[in-house]
Structure 1
Amino acid sequence: MPSFPFQIAARDGAARTGTLTTRRGDIRTPAFMPVGTAATVKAMMPESVAETGADILLGNTYHLMLRPGAERIDRLGGLHRFMNWDRPILTDSGGFQVMSLASLRKLTEDGVTFASHIDGSRHHLTPERSMEIQRLLGSDIVMAFDECPALPATDDQVAASMRLSMRWAQRSRDAFGDRSGHALFGIMQGGINRELREESAEALRSIGFDGYAIGGLAVGEGQAAMFDVLDYAPGLLPDDQPRYLMGVGKPDDIVGAVQRGVDMMDCVLPSRSGRTGQAWTARGQVNIKNARHADDPRPLDESCTCPACSRYSRAYLHHVFRAGEMISGMLLTWHNLHYYQQLMAGLRGAIAGARLDDFVAVFHAEREKGDIPPL
């Protein structure tokens, strides 16, 4: 029986809405998980992240392993206490860095040896060590250790990588053991090759996990290719367990993924965009650094209730970004996270009301309008 009960409340086509019940609180699905790489969502207080509507955060095994260290976090009471977040936390396995830091790594059957991007020190990460680190962190949802090749890659390269990941998935399952109150998710790989995705899904189902992730997408293949995979990949995984699409994404990526049966997503985009002067709204993306906003007394989005929109003008947001003030990243990140969580709430309501197609049509129609005209 899965560690965390997953109750699907309603369906609309392939989309589902429901609740993943954990000891630290319910996760309403479809769910977007803000990324707290180094035990913080950049430019946000934890209570502010909660106010946006987030039920769960993501932490990063690789970065926390290097600084401040998993053993130190454990001595200090675990990641939840350390970062003052009492809701669920999912930690990735470090596997993505196997790809993104390829120039600093040595990959073998046993695991990966990294040169730290911080000080060059050497670290060996295996499925067993990844499970140990995530246990020390105290994360509620633990990800199996995997290897993800950057696309484009040959089918032979993707196949070899996927099969290594499946062997590591079994080792992750064995090392995780029986941990009441904690869940382990396996990660499907296989690039954009359906046969390899099917092979990976079969291997994961035979091992048995509490939930299943779709990995190896949003790594350079483009949205059309990603959606082609998502047209079938969620259906290869158990219907009664959560499906997590890793590293996605832009609002239209999220809407398309939910339509295809995805329950959970994460991405650095809303927080990273906020720090670089980019805001996401129902009418698309707004670049607050543009001169057109300098004398604009209107809010960023008049329908938004976040602090950036309800208390400040576009002119002010433009000014503090241009002046390099920290409040710029704080306000725009809050807005972006609020927008993402409102989008998820809208998707959940639309699925529950069997009106997802109408919701999606309005979503795309609003985005096509573009930003409000300049004054």
Structure 2
Amino acid sequence: MSPAYVHQALTLPGPLPLDNGQALEDVQIAYETYGNLAADKGNAILICHALTGDQYVASTHPVTAKPGWWERMVGPGKPIDTDRYHVICANVIGSCIGSTGPSSNHADGTPYGMRFPVITIRDMVRAQVALLDAMGIARLHSVVGGSMGGMQALSLAANFPDRVERVLAIATTSRHSAQNIAFHELGRQAIMADPHWRGGDYYGEQNAPDSGLAVARMAAHITYLSEEGLTEKFGRRLQDRPDGQVGERAFGFDAEFQVESYLRYQGSGFTRRFDANSYLYITRAMDYFDLAEEHGGMLADAFAGHARGKGARFCLVSFDTDWLYPTADSRHVVHALNAVGAPVSFVELSAPYGHDSFLLDVPALDRVVKGFLDG
């Protein structure tokens, strides 16, 4: 579902060319900004959000009323210091939090639904660069992103090398693996099997494919966590038992275990703030992502614009419990950057939270982010 309002939005002045050969007309980009833009516009940082994220990186979400998804990282005196930097976070095209996507109206006045063109990560980045053009920002101080946001950061560096000075990519990859694609396909099939999906034409109907979307979210959420974290948080403890111990089973299919209840909560809460069709489109964009394939099959060629230190500085961060985008994925990018002589630093951080570690309280990440941006 779309929020009742967005704080800031801009309609791109011209059509947006897409990788599939089409062009998207009247594209609206919803975004939030924090901190003041310097007179020379040299202090702008673009933060790219993950699959289910949005532009409300450090401000209250208008639908859920929850704090911004990276409020611990962005703000006055924080690692991404808004007393020093002008932070921009835009909702990606294809999403449902104000930017043009499947729930937006087509030229005929009805929602796109599945008429919306299939998009790529590079298309999302093109839209963000068009937003920067409209703001008069020729070169970013930094682009920062985790997960799908890291994909966008790497894509911007590869396709618009003259537009950024620093690239910070966290818990991400240069391409989706077969396992990543498989999990996304599971979620998409859950949505499309929901009888309320109606081929994507459920807008204005009494019921949306919330059950399918909830299952998709549950499956994906498992990949964001670590076995260690799940075991520590839930173990095999039963739900709604005074002592939470094994035993006293109900011998049914309600949420018996605490971990089951947690996943159901995650799924149902997600349906109140996200659109099922947007989930289809964004996961497909992530599955198509392959920086090497986009640049002739060699990942190093994707970063040719940064060869011999003439372009941006890079920092890659991974987490030791992240099995969705493991450390090997980040090292693969680092090796490609090394191959062209681009300045790059890399660190694997220890955290028990799995892929979601970049969103949670990992003080070592705070130090890395601040040191790289301010250095």
Structure with a larger share of its residues in strand = 1
- The alignment's TM-score, normalised by the length of structure 2, stands at 0.24
Write 1 or 2 for the structure with the bigger share of helix.
Answer: 1
